């Protein structure tokens, strides 16, 4: 059983007997259990190991390669060029002034006001990094003295969006880093998440168009396809804009709060 957030290390085949896993059958019967309890990451574990099953000669010690591969996924803070920050700030401001977004028609423009600051990161969306990014974003907005509601909602959408990338974006593919950018304005916060995983299916977005409210007695079974996270992000955001990847551009989720 692999606990969420665990780090995986690869060892040379010669270590198999010492570790008590001499062949793949042992892995399948003793380690890769069915995910019936919600805490056995069999599919994710298999995905991370799938490259090791190919008959390809890899130069170097697999134990070191495995560690280096995982460590390369650590959260990295980005320093964006000033021109890029200005470009994003303009995009966010224009999005706020637009009365139509992915799901809703708005009666009034959302005027973000003066740009204050930004923070940006790149990281693979896994259980460890999502927690790190969530805390970093929460600290960033709290330092700028936003209301508790804005701080909470910003933290929420970052966590939910990255969780969706982790669970649905890559599945059977090796994950690639996503980029998270948060821009602070006088009257609101903008969040942009860019990733190269699978796009949100069109039918999921289409179904969300018909979800207008959350009742007090809403059950998990009543949540729209696509999950609770997507619905929550829509509910707390003043603007929701999603662009599926195309050409040389990845998926882009832009939220204003």
Residue 251 or 9, more confident: 251
Angle at 253 between CA 251 and CA 256, to 5 degrees: 165
1 lies in a domain?
Answer: no
Dihedral of CA atoms 243, 245, 250, 251 in degrees, nearest 10, equals: 40
**In this predicted structure, what is the pLDDT of residue 126?**
83
Tens digit of pLDDT for each residue in 225-245? 445 678 888 888 999 999 888
**Domain carrying residue 235:** 76-256
Specify whether 111 is located in the same domain as 124. yes
6 lies in a domain?
Answer: no
Specify whether 151 is located in the same domain as 81. yes
Tens digit of pLDDT for each residue in 47-65? 444 444 444 455 555 444 4
Specify whether 195 is located in the same domain as 234. yes
Specify whether 113 is located in the same domain as 188. yes
- The tally of domains found in the chain comes to 2
Q: How many Å apart are CA 175 and CA 124, to the nearest integer? A: 7
Specify whether 103 is located in the same domain as 229. yes
7 lies in a domain?
Answer: no
Segment holding 45, helix H or strand E: helix 42-49
> By C-alpha distance, which of 227, 154, 150 is closest to 193?
154
Q: Are strands 178-185 and 76-77 parallel, antiparallel or unpaired?
A: unpaired
Angle at 254 between CA 250 and CA 257, to 5 degrees: 160
Specify whether 51 is located in the same domain as 119. no
CATH number at residue 117: 3.30.565.10
Specify whether 61 is located in the same domain as 162. no
Specify whether 98 is located in the same domain as 114. yes
Question: Which of 71, 97, 117 is the last residue before a domain boundary?
Answer: 71
Residue 153 has pLDDT above 90, yes or no: yes
Specify whether 21 is located in the same domain as 84. no
Q: Identify the three-state secondary structure at position 107.
A: coil
Specify whether 67 is located in the same domain as 119. no
Residue 220 has pLDDT above 50, yes or no: no
Confidence of residue 199 (pLDDT cuts 50, 70, 90): confident
Handedness of CA 42, 45, 50, 52 (dihedral sign): negative
Specify whether 112 is located in the same domain as 192. yes
**In this predicted structure, what is the pLDDT of residue 142?**
95
What are φ and ψ of residue 7, in 5° steps? -100, 140
Q: Identify the three-state secondary structure at position 145.
A: coil
The residue whose two tokens read 């998270």 is 180
200 lies in a domain?
Answer: yes
From residue 32, how far is each of 2, 13, 26 by CA, in Å? 9, 18, 9
153 lies in a domain?
Answer: yes
Q: How many Å apart are CA 177 and CA 60, to the nearest integer? A: 24
Tens digit of pLDDT for each residue in 116-133? 999 999 998 888 889 999
2 lies in a domain?
Answer: no
Q: How many Å apart are CA 66 and CA 74, to the nearest integer? A: 14
Per-residue pLDDT, averaged over 74-78, amounts to: 90
Specify whether 66 is located in the same domain as 126. no
Q: How many Å apart are CA 190 and CA 183, to the nearest integer? A: 5
**In this predicted structure, what is the pLDDT of residue 229?**
75
> By C-alpha distance, which of 105, 85, 103 is closest to 93?
85
**In this predicted structure, what is the pLDDT of residue 25?**
63
């Amino acid at each position: 059983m692999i606990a969420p957030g665990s780090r995986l290390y690869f060892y040379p085949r010669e270590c198999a007997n010492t570790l008590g896993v001499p062949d793949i059958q042992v892995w399948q019967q003793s380690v890769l259990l069915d995910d019936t309890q919600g805490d056995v990451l069999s599919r994710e574990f298999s995905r991370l190991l799938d490259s090791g099953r190919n008959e390809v000669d890899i130069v170097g010690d697999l134990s070191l390669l495995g560690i280096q591969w995982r460590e390369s996924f650590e959260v990295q803070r980005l320093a964006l060029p000033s021109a890029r920050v200005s470009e994003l700030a303009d995009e966010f401001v224009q999005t706020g002034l637009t009365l139509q977004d992915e799901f809703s028609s708005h009666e009034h423009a959302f005027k973000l006001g003066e740009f204050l600051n930004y923070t940006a990161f790149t990281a693979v969306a896994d259980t460890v990094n999502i927690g790190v990014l969530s805390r970093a974003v929460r600290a960033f907005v709290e330092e700028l003295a936003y209301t508790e509601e804005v701080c909470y909602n910003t933290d929420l959408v970052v966590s939910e969006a990255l969780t969706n990338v982790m669970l649905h974006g890559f599945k059977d593919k090796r994950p690639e880093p996503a980029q998270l950018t948060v821009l602070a304005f006088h009257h609101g916060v903008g969040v942009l998440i860019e990733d190269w995983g699978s796009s949100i299916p069109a039918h999921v977005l289409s179904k969300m168009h018909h979800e207008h409210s959350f009742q007090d007695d809403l059950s998990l079974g009543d949540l729209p396809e696509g999950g609770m996270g997507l619905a929550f992000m829509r509910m707390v955001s003043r603007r929701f804009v999603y662009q599926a990847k195309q050409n040389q551009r990845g998926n882009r989720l832009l939220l204003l709060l």
